[in-house]
Structure 1
Amino acid sequence: MEHPGTGGGARAMIRRYLSLVVTALLAAVAGLAFHRVFGLGPVLPVAGVAAAVPTLLSGLLSGPRKSGRPWPLWIALVLTVAAWAGTAAVTVLRPALSDGTLPQAMREGVLRSWKSILTTLLPAPAEPEFLLLVHVLVWLAAFGSAELALRTSLRAAPCLPALAVFGAALLLGVDGPGSNLGPAAAAVVLIAVLALIRSDEGGGAGWRPLLVGVPAAAALGAVAFLAAPYVPVSADPYDPREQVQAPPPQQRDGISPLDRVGGWLLTPDQVLFSVEASRRENVRLAVLDRFDGVTWSSTARFAPTGSRVPAAPDAGGDAGDGTVRTAPQRITIRDLPGVWVPAADRPRRVEGLGVVVDPASGALAAARPLRNGQSYRVTSEIREWDAGDLAAAGIAQDAEARAALQLPWGPGATKPPVQLEEFRRFAQGATAGAVSPIQRAAMLAVHLKSYAKYDVTAPPGHSYRQLDYFLSEGRRGTPEHFAASYAVLARTLGLPTRIMVGFSGGRPSGNARDMRAGDVMVWPEVKFDGLGWVPFNPTPQRSGQSKDSDAVAAGETQQKLERLQQNAAAQQRGGGPGKTPQTPAPAAPAASEPPLPWWVYAASLAGLLAAAYVLAVLLVPVLRRRRRRNGPPAARIAGAWRQALEHLGDVGLAATRTLTAHEVARFGAGRLGDAALDHLRPLADLVNRTRFAPSPPEPYAADQAWEHTDRLGRLVTAKAGRLRRLRRRLHPRSLRRDRPEPL
């Protein structure tokens, strides 16, 4: 046993403060795992301060007192709360402190920041209220780990608070940029180092475990870091964002952009916005994917963003999935009403304008209605495909595609409208002989272009009745009618569709193009497996537009795509000379396995934890016994005595700190009979001689001590039974750290 003022007491103090250093580093590493939420730059100083200050405070409060004990825990709790409030006010919440909103910012950060983060596209903006969550979690982890290290003898317990924070960071950072392999490897190494430091507080092997164990732990952490990317993992991580309802954008536009098309076409020279870009591309405004039989609307679930827009869920990386080209633009708002924000194809980054984003479609909406003169920069990804990509594409079968096949009867309808069957016959006639999905989609677009005329004076509307009139009698319409008709007709053929409202062309104005109201376009898109949403243009050219000297050609990417689609529609429909035209049977939709219920994951996790616990409680005593048998003779005799006390615990021995060695021997004799005295009495004599003799014991004395202990263990097993001894081994106290007993 070590006493204050001895070399052993100095070593214990060094180990104690080394443990605090490791727990502080572990809490800081857990905080760095939030880099997938905010980025490394904003998180690094917050995690560093929040880990260091409470650890230092706990270390000061554990200093020597007259009583020899640390300060009561309630004093540490009160002081750490006060220290946290002061530290947060002068660091993370310093802007709120200067403008007098500190209480509100602190309340919002502690109570509501987690939900705001879950409804924000990652990386989240480094707002003080958001970063306060990191500060408070890391602070609690550092304080809890330090107090556990100072007040308990359990080796691994101080790691638990930091691991809890690490888990919270992993959940909040799912699908965020970057990787947590580095912090995870560092956490494993620090946990191993902490266990090594706390494994020898009673003397014994000294610093030798550290000298060997720390390099070994570092090597294992490095191997884990390098090998982790190659571990095959097929399951998607649990994403808590799926359980949190994202708030809609503020002041959503009450008028659909599709309903504005007719009015815009009647005032064609009104400039709505201007675009500066190196290439001409169609600019989309809104994505409308839900049709109720009367109107098209959006199912977008908008979320705040820190200027980043996530990649499309169906974006492919193979060459067969098409190529992606980056297109930067600078857009200046003029007379564009509403909150929908224009951008080319799918935006990936928006700067200069606060927006909310629908992660599924990439549609943008402003937090507030757009104003004349607002300017922002947007970087988009333009998807391009070649003839081989389109020819080999099949129809998408995912949940989004299935939803894009629905043809509701209409509000309040109790039976299907008669127009649906007429639409189906029309679509089948327009695509007769098509042998592939891309041919059906392209032929339908070509047919509508030649079937009806472009007329800006056509009455607006896109319900079943209005589309039926457009296709059967009127045969004149605006892009609204052509696109809506295509989307409904394609759905009757099993092609998942949605509608895009945007702008094409524009009038040159210096280095920019002015997008006028007359440049509005509506086009449908069809979702193909591996390609995502592919646009089609069923709208004929406006009469007289080619003579307009101010008109600019449509987007270059769109022109190329239309030529490919026209070539696909014009191919011989039998698949080659001499072949009979055949229409392949529609492929059965791929059966999608239903997601496993939550309780399966919970049961699996519980099973793994139970197996790990059983393994630990069976393995730890074996390792502890092996460690006790090694070392110098005095340590081996002390280890044999501790092992004997564990044996006697199985027959009822409880507290041993107030008993002498011979009193323990008499207890064993009373429970096990006189045979136990033959081993406990000489073992007690060896322990006392080791404790008080001026010279160290010889190795043979240690061998005798372990021989008596082993025979005593066999007597205990015969008395208590193996089943009872196993039950006691399964108790959590078998994981307690090996503490020296009074001799």
Structure 2
Amino acid sequence: MTRYLSLAVTACLVAVAGLSFQRVFGFGPVVPVAAAAAVVPAVLCGLLSGPRKGKDPWPLWISLVLTVVAWAGTVSVTVLRPALSAGTLPQTLREGVLSSWKAILTTLLPAPAEPELLVLVNVVVWLAAFASAELALRTSLRAAPCLPALGVWAVALLLGVDGPGSNAPLAAATVVLVAVLVLVRADGPGSGSESGSGAAWRPLAIGMPAAAVLGAVAFAAAPVVPVSAEPYNPREQVRAPPPLQRDGVSPLDRVGGWLLNPGQVMFTVQSGRDEIERLAVLDRFNGVTWSSTARFVPTGSRVPEGPRPDREHEVEQRITIRDLPGVWVPAPDRPRQVEGLPVVVDPESGALAAAQPLRPGQTYRVDSVVPEWTVEDLAAATVATDAEAKAALELPWGPGAKEPPVQLAEFRRFAEAATRGAVSPLDKAALLAQYLQRFAKYDVTAPPGHGYRQLDYFLAEGRRGTPEHFATAYALLARTLGLPSRVVVGFDGGNRVGDTVQVRSGDVMVWPEIKFERLGWIRFNPLPETGGGSKGNDSVAAGKTEQKLEQAQKNAVSQQRGEEQGNTTEKAPQKPVADNSPPPWWVFASIAGAVLLIGYVFAVLLAPSLRKRRRRAGSPAARITGAWHQALDHLSDVGLSTARTLTAHEVARFGASSVGEDAHGHLRPLADLVNRSRFAASRPDPRAADQAWRHTDALGRLVTAKAGRIRRLRRRLHPRSLKDRRAPAKAQPAKAQPAKAQPAKAQPAMTPTSTPPAKTPAKAPVRRGAG
């Protein structure tokens, strides 16, 4: 029964280790997979490798072959059921076993719960459950069945480094289960226990609460454990897939056509707040057109965070696709979670794209956190200098060009003239936007195009354009000034019908963004006030977020120039900067000292109780010897030395002088019981053991009344109370003693055999068989 109980504990231990994959897939997909993969092999091993009446267990190779067959059948009807019904089981199984780890490492966590990815969890947990069960049934090593579960933990931690959530509760549960497994196997076969079934369960009954306390301490200490380095991330060793052309036609090239047919409904939005919907981020310019360098990776639902401002607000939207072509998925900036539509995401920009071209009727929910930049944020802004910002400063000559285009020099002169007198990069960016707003007019009939020649015509002659012209011209002019820039295509406004906003083709918007240090990409609006959005009686006004941003930019520029800010907006209070530095070393040292002190007090107070419980267990002879040792412990509280050479009668006289004559009346019969139990021809019966413990308990009450509870507690807190200096000796039958007698005084009192029989002088030689 001990082996089968340890088998159940190992199954639970492996199942908990399998749940640590929740940082990779989430709890929902992992729970059934881990449970089945942990229980089935444990049951199978229990049937094949467990003890049988009068027969040896089946050989290991039979168990190994049958578990492979059982795994193939189980994984086919559970994890790979969709592939089984679709007729692609062999291919999906091969990809899951051989390539799932790489697919997970190139996917934003949580990974989608696809069968070919969940196969990895099933295989790892199954192998660990099989190995743990065989170790539990075929070996007597106490902690050996824990090792496979630790291997599952290692795989899960490596694959879930960047995953959401925490495995601290599961780690605490693992600590508890490991302790329980060791306690269960401590009295299993081969442990040499002879105390009976009742005594075999006592360590488990005592250790279970201690294991629970240990798990609680592990869970409470996990958040405050100091970590001085970032964990190893295997994703850094796996090359991400190269950027792919997700759409044959750039959304920027569609802007002109959408503006000429403004009434076409692109998608609908259900939300309590109006926000700009971002569609595509275009950060690379080759002299002719803008494109995206996004490295899209699969994701289950999560989108990584971007730069965090001091102020932000959350928005939840339910979007339904109508006539929006391509694969770009609209969402506010910056999305955090997408549900209902399989998407891939660019971790840098947060842009979303569908795995397949969008279809009318597709509905998804997107949760976003929209930043709100304050005057204080923008006033301290400096230009970013990272690798992405340097790439956003490139001004290529164009495909096949041998020399720089002449338009670049003209653009640089135009930008310098527009920003003359600027005192900061933010001032340059704001002045350039204001200059373009006054310089050109909004015209949806302007010829499309955003290459060097088209923009030169827009700035030099036409001076009329669509959002495509204003945004791309701003981005190129900003790059000539050393401001890293990119272009974003999205939608602003819409037509409200009930509680739903219909976003139409005429609501398309293009805007430029500049990257600043710590703040990330900040939107600027170079479009004239008369431009943008299809107008109507029921049209939705532009969101408040962009209006606040434009006003904050103006106030920040005024603050940099030393001018008084207008009263159009209330200055936001500056939040104190959070101190992210780790606590000083003495905090952790104090916590460690307090934990050690509490643990020491717990140990010294618990050790005597456990020692007394152990002395009361066993055969009658062992119980009588334990009663004598317990009596000596009681007398230690009133001054009896632990290093002494007193006979039993001298111990009794010491008790009479230190405690009272009543103590002598309990010690003398107790010593006689010990001598008879050790050297008498017949073994003592349980009644003699009960009588010995009655004398010992009565002596303990007398000592407590004499010494006082305070003194006894003070002696219990001494480190010597942790060590049992009088290990119980095994009871032996009576033997013939050597003829040469030994003086009784030479025998230590802690060995009861040194006690002479009653009515024998203390100094007399010890007679044969009398102790």
- 1:135 shift after superposition: 1.9
Kept in 1, the 8 Å contact 2:475–2:512? The answer is: yes
Q: Residue 45 of structure 2 corresponds to which residue in structure 1?
A: 58
- 1:258 shift after superposition: 0.9
CA offsets, 1:73-130, max 9 Å, x none? 2111101111222333343344555565544444443334333433443333334443
- 1:433 shift after superposition: 3.0
Structure 2: distance between partners of 1:493 and 1:92: 56
Confirm whether residue 126 of structure 1 aligns to residue 113 of structure 2: yes
Choose from 203, 207, 217 the match for 2:192: 203
Structure 1: distance between partners of 2:167 and 2:264: 51
Choose from 264, 281, 287 the match for 1:287: 281
Confirm whether residue 541 of structure 1 aligns to residue 529 of structure 2: yes
Q: Residue 217 of structure 2 corresponds to which residue in structure 1?
A: 223
Confirm whether residue 361 of structure 1 aligns to residue 349 of structure 2: yes
TM-score (norm 1): 0.69
Q: Residue 607 of structure 2 corresponds to which residue in structure 1?
A: none
Spell out the pairing of 1:336-351 with structure 2 (5 A cutoff). 336-351=324-339
Kept in 1, the 8 Å contact 2:41–2:67? The answer is: yes
- 1:31 shift after superposition: 0.5
Kept in 1, the 8 Å contact 2:262–2:534? The answer is: no
Structure 1: distance between partners of 2:146 and 2:61: 21
CA offsets, 1:522-562, max 9 Å, x none? 10112233433221111113469898656543222112222
- 1:290 shift after superposition: 1.9
Q: Residue 235 of structure 1 corresponds to which residue in structure 2?
A: 229
Q: Residue 312 of structure 1 corresponds to which residue in structure 2?
A: 305
Q: Residue 278 of structure 1 corresponds to which residue in structure 2?
A: 272
Confirm whether residue 403 of structure 1 aligns to residue 391 of structure 2: yes
Kept in 1, the 8 Å contact 2:180–2:208? The answer is: yes
- 1:415 shift after superposition: 5.3
- 1:190 shift after superposition: 2.8
Kept in 2, the 8 Å contact 1:290–1:296? The answer is: yes
AA aligned to 2:383 is I
Kept in 2, the 8 Å contact 1:272–1:335? The answer is: yes
SS at match of 2:416: helix
Kept in 2, the 8 Å contact 1:395–1:527? The answer is: yes
- 1:163 shift after superposition: 1.3
CA gap 1:105/1:297 in 2 versus in 1, 3 angstroms:
same
Kept in 2, the 8 Å contact 1:433–1:573? The answer is: no
Structure 2: distance between partners of 1:366 and 1:545: 26
Confirm whether residue 182 of structure 1 aligns to residue 173 of structure 2: no
- 1:180 shift after superposition: 0.6
Structure 1: distance between partners of 2:532 and 2:211: 77
SS at match of 2:365: strand
Structure 2: distance between partners of 1:210 and 1:373: 60
In terms of mean alpha carbon deviation, does 87-96 or 442-451 score higher? 87-96
Kept in 2, the 8 Å contact 1:46–1:92? The answer is: yes
In terms of mean alpha carbon deviation, does 36-45 or 139-148 score higher? 36-45
Structure 1: distance between partners of 2:288 and 2:734: 100
- 1:449 shift after superposition: 1.2
CA gap 1:527/1:344 in 2 versus in 1, 3 angstroms:
same
Kept in 2, the 8 Å contact 1:505–1:519? The answer is: yes
Choose from 112, 115, 130 the match for 1:143: 130
CA offsets, 1:221-248, max 9 Å, x none? 3212111112233533333344445568
CA gap 1:544/1:69 in 2 versus in 1, 3 angstroms:
closer
AA aligned to 1:165 is V
Kept in 1, the 8 Å contact 2:376–2:556? The answer is: no
Structure 2: distance between partners of 1:545 and 1:165: 55
SS at match of 2:526: coil
Choose from 475, 497, 519 the match for 1:531: 519
Kept in 1, the 8 Å contact 2:282–2:293? The answer is: yes
SS at match of 1:238: coil
Structure 2: distance between partners of 1:25 and 1:373: 45
TM-score (norm 2): 0.67
Structure 2: distance between partners of 1:176 and 1:279: 30
Confirm whether residue 377 of structure 1 aligns to residue 361 of structure 2: no
Kept in 2, the 8 Å contact 1:88–1:135? The answer is: yes
SS at match of 2:369: strand
Unaligned runs of 5+ in 2: 565-613, 623-728, 738-746, 752-771
- 1:151 shift after superposition: 3.7
Q: Residue 173 of structure 1 corresponds to which residue in structure 2?
A: 160
Kept in 2, the 8 Å contact 1:285–1:500? The answer is: yes
CA offsets, 1:431-478, max 9 Å, x none? 333333322222221122112222333332223343344334443322
Q: Residue 101 of structure 2 corresponds to which residue in structure 1?
A: 114
Kept in 2, the 8 Å contact 1:36–1:122? The answer is: yes
Q: Residue 255 of structure 1 corresponds to which residue in structure 2?
A: 249
CA gap 1:115/1:326 in 2 versus in 1, 3 angstroms:
same
Asked which structure has the greater CA Rg, the reply is 2
- 1:140 shift after superposition: 0.5
AA aligned to 2:151 is A
Structure 2: distance between partners of 1:696 and 1:534: 97
AA aligned to 2:350 is G
AA aligned to 2:368 is S
Confirm whether residue 455 of structure 1 aligns to residue 448 of structure 2: no
- 1:199 shift after superposition: 5.5
CA gap 1:98/1:340 in 2 versus in 1, 3 angstroms:
closer
Structure 1: distance between partners of 2:735 and 2:74: 54
Choose from 65, 71, 74 the match for 1:87: 74
Q: Residue 290 of structure 2 corresponds to which residue in structure 1?
A: 296
CA gap 1:391/1:183 in 2 versus in 1, 3 angstroms:
same
Structure 1: distance between partners of 2:342 and 2:532: 40
Kept in 1, the 8 Å contact 2:305–2:336? The answer is: no
Structure 1: distance between partners of 2:532 and 2:159: 56
AA aligned to 1:445 is A
Choose from 21, 33, 39 the match for 1:46: 33
Spell out the pairing of 1:274-673 with structure 2 (5 A cutoff). 274-306=268-300, 308-314=301-307, 316=308, 321-413=309-401, 416-542=404-530, 549=537, 552-569=540-557, 571=558, 574-575=561-562
AA aligned to 1:224 is A
Q: Residue 734 of structure 1 corresponds to which residue in structure 2?
A: none
Choose from 38, 45, 58 the match for 1:71: 58
In terms of mean alpha carbon deviation, does 521-530 or 196-205 score higher? 196-205
Q: Residue 619 of structure 1 corresponds to which residue in structure 2?
A: none
Corresponding residue pairs, total:
578
CA gap 1:17/1:455 in 2 versus in 1, 3 angstroms:
same
CA gap 1:66/1:230 in 2 versus in 1, 3 angstroms:
closer
Structure 2: distance between partners of 1:405 and 1:237: 33
CA gap 1:149/1:545 in 2 versus in 1, 3 angstroms:
closer
Structure 2: distance between partners of 1:554 and 1:402: 32
CA gap 1:246/1:196 in 2 versus in 1, 3 angstroms:
same
Q: Residue 268 of structure 1 corresponds to which residue in structure 2?
A: 262
AA aligned to 1:309 is R
AA aligned to 2:472 is A
CA offsets, 1:391-443, max 9 Å, x none? 23333344433433333444445555454444344333323333333222222
Kept in 2, the 8 Å contact 1:495–1:526? The answer is: yes
Kept in 2, the 8 Å contact 1:434–1:573? The answer is: no
SS at match of 1:343: coil
- 1:312 shift after superposition: 2.2
Kept in 2, the 8 Å contact 1:442–1:568? The answer is: no
In terms of mean alpha carbon deviation, does 360-369 or 56-65 score higher? 56-65
- 1:490 shift after superposition: 2.2
CA gap 1:217/1:421 in 2 versus in 1, 3 angstroms:
farther
Q: Residue 679 of structure 1 corresponds to which residue in structure 2?
A: none
Kept in 1, the 8 Å contact 2:106–2:298? The answer is: yes
Kept in 2, the 8 Å contact 1:279–1:556? The answer is: no
CA gap 1:283/1:116 in 2 versus in 1, 3 angstroms:
same
